[in-house]
DNA sequence: GGTAGACCTGGACGC
DNA sequence: GCGTCCAGGTCTACC
């Protein structure tokens, strides 16, 4: 008998808006079904992998229903709830959201504030590494192949994201050959080993008392993590005071904000432009870009993963 | 502290 | 079908 979980959400929570709010919702093993408006993904739980399909009845603030493809023990249920809560940012302080809307009133009416992320910090770190120095279709491909090659299968045959334990046991060459990750191979294996050896402690990174700058400094030391990746991981940790500046920022600066000059000059102007939004600047920056994408491709919850969702490339927008 | 060049892959393009 | 070029952040060597 498959398990069904009922998950309370903040009163402003809307699944189709808040799940389809960041590119990772298009990456394996996550699957947003634009027709059924459900979010499906396989999670690694104490009793093994399980696929969960999450839906909301369409009303803001209605509880979510998550249906698993197998029975879940109490320990499985607790872990599934913890991961879903992280992924959908259900635990994000509503005062923090209100502060953001006071600072940037453009998003108050639509209610945009929450950004989709992975159920674990490890997956967020690896996804960030697979998004560096490649166009989006390659990021899509790397994540699909990582899951197919190394993800534990749920009873319905779909793979989870590989655990640090599985990736830590691989040789770099194996990752390169089976997942097309290129020179990122050794960096991904080393990151996985650091998680397994507990040199990277997710609790320290997730602790609100840990200063942003301490986290940034630690991230920059890691293989494959530079200034862009560190800022991106910071926002994934709910710390929105840094901008992950990349070629996409330059495109946005030029085409939407009307800035001119070299890439470096445009990046500096983008940085300055969002300074007034202080510790919420990433959300202001991101939703501005997200709205631009939606103006070109339709609302994100209508995007098909295999077509629209696989084709974004800054230089072609 | 700043910067040039290497690192890989997939897609576009020309022949 | 093959070769060439390009996009994309991090890392190292060098000034």
CB of residue A180 closer than 7 A to nucleic acid strand B?
Answer: yes
> Which nucleotide comes closest to A231 if you measure CA to C1'?
C9
What was the pLDDT predicted at A207? 97
Residue with tokens 């996985």: A192
Residues A99 and A129: their CA atoms lie apart, in Å, by 31
Nucleotide in closest CA–C1' contact with A250: C8
Mind listing the pLDDT tens digit for each residue in A16-68?
999 999 999 999 999 999 999 999 999 999 999 999 999 999 899 999 999 99
* Residue-level pLDDT at A306: 84
Percentage with pLDDT > 90 across chain A: 92
CA closest to C8 C1', residue: A133
**Position A315 pLDDT exceeds 60:** no
| Structure confidence at residue A310 (pLDDT) | 78
Does residue A141 approach strand B to less than 7 Å at its CB? yes
Specify whether the CB–CB gap between A84 and A7 falls below 8 A: yes
pLDDT attached to residue A95:
84
- Rounded CA-CA distance A260/A315 in Å is 16
Instruction: Determine if strand B comes within 7 Å of the CB of A263.
Output: no
User: Could you tell me the distance in Å between the CA of residue A199 and the C1' of nucleotide B11?
Assistant: 38
Q: Is the CB of A137 under 7 A from strand B?
A: yes
Q: Which nucleotides of chain C are near protein (any atom < 7 Å from a CB)?
A: 7-11
Q: How confident is the model at residue A3 (pLDDT cuts 50, 70, 90)?
A: confident
Instruction: Tell me what pLDDT residue A259 has.
Output: 94
- The per-residue pLDDT of chain A, averaged, comes to 95
Q: Is the pLDDT of residue A251 over 70?
A: yes
Q: Quote the DSSP letter at residue A151.
A: P
Cβ neighbours of A282 (radius 10 Å): 22
Q: How many CB atoms lie within 10 A of CB A298?
A: 12
- Tokens linked to A173: 């060459």
Q: Which two tokens stand for residue A192?
A: 């996985």
């Amino acid at each position: 008998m498959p398990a069904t979980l009922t998950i309370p959400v903040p009163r402003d929570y809307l699944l189709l808006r808040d799940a389809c709010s960041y590119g990772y919702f298009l990456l394996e093993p996550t699957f947003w079904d634009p027709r059924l408006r459900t979010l499906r993904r396989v999670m690694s739980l104490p009793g093994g992998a399980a696929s969960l399909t999450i839906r909301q009845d369409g009303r803001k603030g209605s509880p979510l229903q998550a249906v698993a493809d197998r029975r879940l023990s109490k320990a499985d249920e607790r872990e599934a709830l913890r991961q879903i809560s992280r992924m959908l940012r259900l635990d994000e302080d509503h005062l923090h959201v209100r502060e953001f809307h006071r600072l940037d009133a453009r998003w108050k009416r639509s209610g945009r504030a929450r950004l989709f992320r992975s159920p674990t910090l490890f997956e967020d770190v690896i996804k960030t590494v697979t998004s560096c120095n490649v166009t989006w279709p390659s990021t899509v491909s790397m994540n699909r192949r990582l899951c197919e090659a190394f993800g534990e299968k749920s009873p319905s045959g779909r793979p989870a994201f590989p655990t640090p334990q599985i990736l830590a046991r691989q040789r770099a060459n194996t990752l390169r050959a089976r997942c097309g990750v290129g020179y990122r191979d050794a960096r991904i294996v080393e990151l996985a080993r650091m998680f397994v050896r507990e040199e990277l402690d997710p609790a320290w990174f997730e602790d609100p008392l840990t200063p942003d700058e301490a986290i940034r400094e630690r991230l920059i030391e890691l293989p494959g993590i530079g200034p862009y990746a560190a800022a991106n991981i910071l926002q994934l940790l709910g710390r929105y005071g840094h901008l992950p500046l990349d070629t996409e920022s330059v495109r946005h600066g030029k085409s939407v904000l009307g800035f001119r000059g070299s890439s470096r000059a445009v990046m500096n102007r983008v940085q300055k432009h969002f300074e007034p939004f202080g510790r919420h600047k990433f959300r202001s920056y991101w939703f501005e870009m997200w709205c631009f994408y939606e103006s070109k491709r339709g609302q994100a919850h209508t995007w098909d993963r295999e077509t629209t969702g696989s084709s974004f490339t800054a230089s072609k927008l």
